[in-house]
Amino acid sequence: MKVELAKTAGFCFGVKRAVEMVYQQAENALPVYTYGPIIHNEEVVADLENKGVKVINNKKELEELKEGTIVIRSHGVSKEIQDSMMALDENGNPKFTVVDATCPFVKKIHKIVLEQSGQGRHILIAGDKKHPEVEGIIGWCEGTVTVIGDKNDAENFYTNRDEKLTFVSQTTYNYMNFKELVEIISKKGYDINVLNTICNATEERQIEASMLAKRSDAVIVIGGKQSSNTRKLFEICKQECADTYYIQTLSDLDLEQFKSFRSVGITAGASTPNNIIKEVHTSMSETSFEQLLEESLVTIHNGKVVEGTVIHVKEDEIVLNIGYKADGIITRNEYTNTPNVDLRTVVKEGDAMQAKVLKVNDGEGQVLLSYKRLAAERGSKKLEEAFESKEVLKAKVAAVLDGGLSVIVDESRVFIPASLVSDTYEKNLDKYKDQEIEFVISEFNPKRRRIIGDRKQLLVVKKQQMQKELFEKIKVGDVVTGTVKNVTDFGVFIDLGGADGLLHISEMSWGRVENPKKVFKVGDEVKTFIKDIAGEKIALSLKFPDSNPWIDAEEKYAVGSIVTGKVARMTDFGAFIELDPGVDALLHVSQISREHVEKPSSVLKIGEEITAKIVDFNFEDKKISLSCKVLEMEAVEEEKAEETAEETQE
């Protein structure tokens, strides 16, 4: 195995300087404190603690100190914290001896933002706002400051066009990412002064890590969990090499992981001590590929769970390298319960998989494995835990059965009876096929193969909550929009999102509605207003007051007016003529004609258009009386008058 160590791995100048300064102070006199961990490396911090160096974590702890030496760590601190460290005692003497170990590159940024913000410029900082270095930089800005953490922050950044900007960066920020952020904000047209404050050592380290990852089968990145620059190295290497491993010390290194690699690259963050890097490098270099392979060979037996890497996939078979002298085989039937699955569509070469050993030797020297049985065991365990904790699960409906639905959770089947599928009766469950649904486990008895799911109780709880929220916000007179849920002969039930409202047939129009089913259908969106609320019953109406046809009826249908309408219905005593939707007038049988009419139906028919004169109007009782007879008599009188006038002229 070829092992290559990055030239830039380990302490950078600033970190090395800061660590040496703390060790030097620890030898001189105690107590010694550092404001925050001197570097993001647990090994170094622990060693310093053993030597009596304590960590101050915040301003409150600083103010509680009486004396001692305080070392400002390489990340730097804000101006406010620095001024607190310089505080004088009651005699006018400095309370503390302050040793400034701030990295010179960070100090440079402090100076830049102090000057630029003092000139009224808006400071932008590329970095992690929770990182101590960035917190310190912010503390040296006198005006407006904004931290740009990523591309999304840059795209969402806006400020006044007249405002001048200065853009700096956290010293350990990814250089390519910084360039991308600068480009995004520059395109917005601001007056921007860009200063690349990324440490040269950081940039060189990142470039070398990227190149190392490209030419290696695997990469080891060494550094503390809290180290920002180490995390960035890991991200850079991971982009170029999928098999990149993040460790803190040699004890985190699993040599078995490297048995199949021909070349391994090693790099480390700026806060990683050289002794840790050397231990890892030495361990990897002294172990040959053959030794690793031999040491890593597993012993297996029926029922054992093994992990392997997919090395070949056929339509009905998967071949796994399980670190044994023979490969493992998973047939289609031992991969899933779903029939006729083309395994090439669900698994690819290079995938890591776990499986259960069914036979150490299948008769042809290969190990017969099962993926689905292991998944089913884990699925069963998951379902048991979900049953006990009442966890809400989500899964796709695998099959619609006569009595309910079947869903599969990690190869374990769950049956949801039809009565527990919904909170209302569902005649046809086919609509749930292939749908992803939520449910809880209401019964768990794997011995009897009885695992029951319940979707209904979730819907009931959700509906109760929605109903509560709905009734808290609605009142009589509110205009609401809902969806038609059911249509009957007497009205329509409309889902208002938590409760149903009834739109009665009498409230559908100012006019007449013969059959609601001719006007509405399930799924229609309807805008109505609330006419009444009685307990949990909501009465709806489409008879909006401002559209009431009787508003201007007194003027529109004044006595003596001649109107035209259609015969809407008839009785033995007369016919009702619809003048407008919601406005009917009575044409009494005696007023239909000058001639005697025994029954209205003998001379009129439904829908026939009638012209008549209004002879009576009662607004209070909403009654209008018509007469065709009067019009006929007036016509006769007019004709006689014309004839008399002609005779006189002769």
- What secondary structure does DSSP assign to 350-405, as a single string? T-EEEEEEEES--SSS-EEEESHHHHHHHHHHHHHHHHHHTPPEEEEEEEEETTEE
Whether 344 and 382 have beta carbons less than 8 Å apart is answered as: no
Whether 440 and 453 have beta carbons less than 8 Å apart is answered as: yes
Q: In which residue are the tokens 């920002």 written?
A: 228
Contacts (Cβ under 8 Å, ≥6 apart) of 131: 75, 170, 228
> What amino acid is encoded at 362 in this protein?
D
Q: Which helix (H) or strand (E) holds 588?
A: strand 583-588
Structure-token pair, residue 578: 């619809």
Rg (CA), the chain: 43
Beta-sheet pairing, 305-314 with 352-359: antiparallel
Q: Looking at 475-541, list the stretches that DSSP marks H as alpha helix, in order from N- to C-terminal side.
A: none
Whether 145 and 117 have beta carbons less than 8 Å apart is answered as: yes
CA-angle at 456, arms to 455 and 459, nearest 5°? 95
Contacts (Cβ under 8 Å, ≥6 apart) of 541: 503, 507, 528, 529, 530, 531
Q: Which helix (H) or strand (E) holds 200?
A: helix 200-214
Question: Please, what's the b/e burial string for 414-432 (b: 16 or more CB within 10 A of its CB; e: otherwise)?
Answer: bbbbbebbeeeeeeebeeb
Neighbouring CB atoms inside 10 A of 183's CB total 10
How distant is the alpha carbon of residue 61 from its chain centre? Answer: 39
Question: Please, what's the b/e burial string for 591-624 (b: 16 or more CB within 10 A of its CB; e: otherwise)?
Answer: bbeeeebeebeeebeeeeebebbbbebeeeeeeb
Query: What is the rounded distance in angstroms from the CA atom of residue 449 to the CA atom of residue 434?
Result: 23
Q: Looking at 39-148, list the stretches that DSSP marks H as alpha helix, in order from N- to C-terminal side.
A: 42-50, 59-64, 79-85, 104-118, 132-138
Query: What is the rounded distance in angstroms from the CA atom of residue 473 to the CA atom of residue 130?
Result: 41
Check residue 539 and report its DSSP letter. E
* Torsion 344-349-350-353 (CA) sign: positive
Question: Please, what's the b/e burial string for 526-547 (b: 16 or more CB within 10 A of its CB; e: otherwise)?
Answer: bebbbbebeeeebbbbbbeeee
Whether 270 and 18 have beta carbons less than 8 Å apart is answered as: no
Structure-token pair, residue 639: 């004709």
Structure-token pair, residue 342: 């083309």
Contacts (Cβ under 8 Å, ≥6 apart) of 606: 567, 568, 569, 570
Query: What is the rounded distance in angstroms from the CA atom of residue 150 to the CA atom of residue 173?
Result: 11
Query: What is the rounded distance in angstroms from the CA atom of residue 44 to the CA atom of residue 388?
Result: 45
Contacts (Cβ under 8 Å, ≥6 apart) of 20: none
Q: Name the residue among 196, 129, 119 with its Cα closest to residue 163.
A: 119
Whether 405 and 395 have beta carbons less than 8 Å apart is answered as: no
CA-angle at 221, arms to 75 and 100, nearest 5°? 15
Catalytic residues: 133
3-state secondary structure of 339: coil
Query: What is the rounded distance in angstroms from the CA atom of residue 44 to the CA atom of residue 608?
Result: 101
Q: Name the residue among 442, 303, 295, 462 with its Cα closest to residue 367.
A: 303
pLDDT of amino acid 286: 62
Q: What is the largest CA-CA distance in the chain?
A: 146
Which residues of the chain are under the pLDDT cut of 70? 29, 286-298, 362, 649-650
Contacts (Cβ under 8 Å, ≥6 apart) of 83: none
Q: Exposed, middle or buried: residue 31 (CB in 10 Å: 0-12, 13-18, 19+)?
A: middle
Query: What is the rounded distance in angstroms from the CA atom of residue 339 to the CA atom of residue 132?
Result: 56
Q: What domains does the chain contain, in order, with CATH numbers?
A: 13-104 (3.40.50.11270), 105-198 (3.40.1010.20), 305-370 (2.40.50.140), 376-459 (2.40.50.140), 474-547 (2.40.50.140), 553-636 (2.40.50.140)
Residue 396, CA distances (Å) to 333, 377, 399, 418, 458 in order = 20, 19, 9, 16, 17
Q: What is the pTM of this model?
A: 0.41
Strands (E), 285-345: 305-314, 317-321, 328-331
Q: In which residue are the tokens 């092992």 written?
A: 3
Q: Name the residue among 524, 551, 527 with its Cα closest to residue 478.
A: 527
pLDDT of amino acid 627: 93
pLDDT of amino acid 296: 47
Cis preceding linkage at 417, omega within 30: no
Structure-token pair, residue 486: 């059911």
Partner residues linked to 566 by β-bridges: 578, 609
Whether 519 and 508 have beta carbons less than 8 Å apart is answered as: yes
